[in-house]
Every structure is written in C-alpha cells, then in structure tokens.
Amino acid sequence: MRNRRLMLLMAVALVFLLAGSAFAKVKLTFWNGFTGPDRPVVEALVAQFNEENPDIEIEMDIMPWDTFMQKLLPSYIVGQGPDIAGLGAELLPRLVDAGVLAPIDDVFTETNLTREMLAPFAVDAATYKGHLYGTPMSNYALLMYYNIDHFTAAGLAPEAPTNWDEWLEAAIKLSNPPQQYGFVMPTKQAPAVWHLLMWSNGGGILGDNGEVLIDSAESKEAVKFWADAVLKHEISPIGLTGPETDKVFQTGKASMHIVGPWMTTGFTEAGLNYDVAPIPEGPVTRATVGGVTSMAISKQAGEDPVKRQAVYRFLEFWNSEEAQIKWALGANFPPNRIDIADNPEILAHPWVPKFTAGLAYARGHLVGTPHASEIESDIYDTAIEYILLGRKSVDDALNEAGQKLRDLLK
C-alpha cells in the first residue's frame, strides 16, 4: 500500500515536472554567421540572455556566412528555418518576397527600443516596401587599414592618404611586387571595395531609385583609375577573394587594405603594426560600404504570439545599453545604439570610435533589391574580374554589366 502511494506521488510529481518544463519554456532557434573572433561575444550574450530569462531558451546555431545564406531560404520553404535569423540586410528583400519573414513594425511600441536610439542607416537597411523586417544585430563600415612599418620604411609619414592622388602616389611608392603591394584590392567574393570607389566618384551600381549606374561615366572613370593602378603600376595582386586579401595584408605583404572591423583581432594577433583611417575622399565625395546584420523573425514565429513576445524580448536585450557596450568592446564593432557612442569605455577603445565615425558616410551595398546575390556574383564580380585579368576594357565590361543589370531588373 505504501509503495503504491509513493509511486502515485512520484507519477504526479513527474507529470508536473514535465508539464512545467514544457509549458514554461519558450524555445527559440537562432541562426547567424558570426564564426570569427566575434563568435565568443555572441555566445556570451546569448548565454546571458538565457540565464536572465528562465522562461525562454535560445538555441543558437552559428555557421559560416556562405553556408548560412544557402541554407536559410530553402530551410524556410520546407518549414525548418530558424525563429530568428541574423542575416545581412541585403538578403531581406528576397526572403520577404518569398513570404517567410514577419514584419516587425510594432517593435518600437512593444519594446523599450526606439527608432531614434538605433543607427538610422541600420534601420533603413532593414526596411523593405515600407515595412521593418529587422532590428540591427551588428553594423559596420569598411575602413582603410595601413601598415605603419611599411609607410615608415618607404620614407612616408605614418598617416593614411586623404585623397585619391595621395592614395595612388603612396600605393605606387609602397609597391615592390611580388614582395610587397601598396594597396591590396579584391577581385571577387569580397567586401565591395570597387563599389565604394565608384561612389567616391559619383557613380555606383544602382541609384537610390533603382536606376542603373554601373555603366555611367562616373563609375567607368573610377574603375579605370584604379584598374590602371593595378595593371600598370602593380599596386595589387590580381584575382584575389576577400579572405585572400586579408591574408596578404596579415602576412605583411600589403601596405594598405580596405576591410571591416572584424579583422582587427586577426591583424593584432599577427603582430602587425597597423592603424585604421577613414576612406580617402574621392573626386566627388567620401564614401564607404556600410554593412548591417539584421535580426529578422520568421513568419511562423511572428504569427505565434508567445514566440513573438519572446523574440521581442531578445531583440530588446540585444540592443540594450549593457549588451551593446559588451558587443562593441568585445567584437570591435560600432554599437548599434548611437546614444551610447560617448560612453567612456567605448571612447577609450582603440578601434570602435573610428569605425563609428565611418558610419557617417557609409551606404548599403545592394540593399533593397531581391537580386542582390545575382548582381554581386554574376554582374559586379564578373565585370571587375574581366577588367583586372585584362580580358575586357573597362568600357566594354561595364557596358555589358549595365546591360545584364537592366535585363535582370526588367
């Protein structure tokens, strides 16, 4: 008899236990591509959130960005996508058109976040067809990295150039191929260095209203200027991908390099004596590429009020003052919160204030079009590759690119 009562008690306890864990905990899946030195910072913040919110559990899956992008849309189509996706804002339009994301226009009324406290450019990049689809996970600007030792050895003042003429002159002076290249430039699969050069001369790939600019006189002039520098003065090796350019700079074989804040850790660990500086001003303007990783909610999670509430709590946490200071100091990224830029800890950081300053003249690369990845790989990269490999003139390559772009957007 006693045994039976005990068993009953245990069974009841078990039921409660199971029910408790099943009902109280909202499980959220979260995918992103922060595989670099920033990974531990992301992991620490997610762990902190899980600890502070016992009723929510975020299961995070970090994978390389290219795997992530190839997996995300197909996963959503078969209903297996993550509740929260931390993805490049340029990918949002395609996913929105596919109907797999939920708009979050009410995030500023449902949470403590306000539009004003976030980097405006990061919020704009996540806005498509009049709706907001994400709050920023990270934002950055590309800046100029330069090797101070190379500058000193070449008899130059250890300061980055400030305009194109100075830039080209320094690049030529610093080049001694194949031992050393003045300014390592990517050819493909890289941050959009050539795009920012087009912008600096008043050109670009697509204008604000979707007009094709890649074959404009301004774009051609900019590309000619730098392609000549590569082909005639050998200021850069040819055919490199983004990671390859990073390695060239990291091994002390290049004097100048344009890349984002994520490389600071690697370059410092490699023992390079370097600094970062603003992108030199172009003939028309100063421009750089700004990147935004947005946190978007899947349509499934967005339609489930419990999950939606849980996701909003996480978005709020991620862009809280405390989390953003941790993020900035740990990952060397500018904080998403513009209202904490003058936090003393952030101001004292060697890199963060410089990258924050870069955001002032940053623009989004191929944001707001559902064809971003095709334009990137089949039009922009291809044109630059034809030019740098000497197989097509700048005029021919960019005219073709313009034609392809118009066909694609039709």
Partner 1 sequence: MFIGKIRRKRQPIARYNQQIAYLFLFPSLAVFIVFIIYPIGFSLWSTFTNWNLIQSAKYVGWANYIRLCNDERFWNAVYNTIVYTIGVVPVGTALSLLLAVALNQNIKGTKFFRTVIFLPVVASTAIIAIVWTFLFDPQIGLFGYYLSKIGITMGAWLREPDRAMLAIIIVSIWKNVGFNMVIFLAGLQGIPYSLYEAARVDGANRLQMFRYITLPQLRPTTVFVVVMSVLSSFQVFDQIYVMTRGGPLYRTETLVQYIYHHGFTTFQMSYGATVAMFLLVVILALTILQLRLFDRPVD
Q: Is 244 in the site for partner 1 (CB under 8 A)?
A: yes
**Shortest distance, position 389 Cβ to partner 1, whole Å:** 6
Candidate residues 103, 237, 335, 358; the one interacting with partner 1 per rule CB under 8 A:
237
Q: Is 35 in the site for partner 1 (CB under 8 A)?
A: no
**Shortest distance, position 35 Cβ to partner 1, whole Å:** 15
Beta strands in 148-234 (DSSP E): 181-184
Of the pair 188, 326, the CB lying nearest partner 1 is at: 188
- Which of the 8 DSSP states describes residue 156? -
Write out the two tokens for 255.
Answer: 């004097």
Q: Is 98 in the site for partner 1 (CB under 8 A)?
A: yes
Q: Which residue has the tokens 């690119």?
A: 401
Of the pair 162, 403, the CB lying nearest partner 1 is at: 403
**Shortest distance, position 210 Cβ to partner 1, whole Å:** 18
Of the pair 17, 77, the CB lying nearest partner 1 is at: 77
92: Cβ–Cβ under 8 A, 6 or more apart, which residues?
Answer: 101, 126, 128, 133, 134, 294, 296
Candidate residues 20, 40, 158, 239; the one interacting with partner 1 per rule CB under 8 A:
239
Candidate residues 32, 56, 94, 182; the one interacting with partner 1 per rule CB under 8 A:
94
Q: How many CB atoms lie within 10 A of CB 20?
A: 10
Candidate residues 374, 393, 400, 403; the one interacting with partner 1 per rule CB under 8 A:
374
Beta strands in 41-180 (DSSP E): 56-62, 84-88, 101-102, 127-128, 131-132, 135-141, 143-147
- Contacts to partner 1 from residues 155-184, by CB under 8 A: 178
| One-letter amino acid for residue 93 of the chain | P
Going by DSSP bridges, is the β-strand pair 288-298/84-88 parallel, antiparallel, or unpaired?
antiparallel
- Contacts to partner 1 from residues 59-78, by CB under 8 A: 70, 73-74, 77
Of the pair 247, 326, the CB lying nearest partner 1 is at: 247
- Which of the 8 DSSP states describes residue 162? -
Of the pair 89, 379, the CB lying nearest partner 1 is at: 379
Of the pair 27, 391, the CB lying nearest partner 1 is at: 391
- Contacts to partner 1 from residues 388-407, by CB under 8 A: 389, 391
Candidate residues 146, 151, 225, 386; the one interacting with partner 1 per rule CB under 8 A:
386
**What DSSP assignment string belongs to 336-400?**
SBGGGTT-HHHHTSSSHHHHHHHGGGEEESSTT-TTHHHIIIIIIHHHHHHHHTTSS-HHHHHHH
Of the pair 179, 209, the CB lying nearest partner 1 is at: 179
Going by DSSP bridges, is the β-strand pair 274-277/143-147 parallel, antiparallel, or unpaired?
antiparallel
Write out the two tokens for 208.
Answer: 């604000």
Candidate residues 152, 251, 285, 309; the one interacting with partner 1 per rule CB under 8 A:
251
CB burial of residue 371 (10 Å; 0-12, 13-18, 19+): middle
Of the pair 77, 348, the CB lying nearest partner 1 is at: 77
Going by DSSP bridges, is the β-strand pair 181-184/143-147 parallel, antiparallel, or unpaired?
unpaired
Binding-site ranges for partner 1 (CB under 8 A): 70, 73-74, 77, 94, 97-98, 178, 187-189, 237-240, 244, 247-248, 251, 253, 370, 373-374, 377-378, 382, 385-386, 389, 391
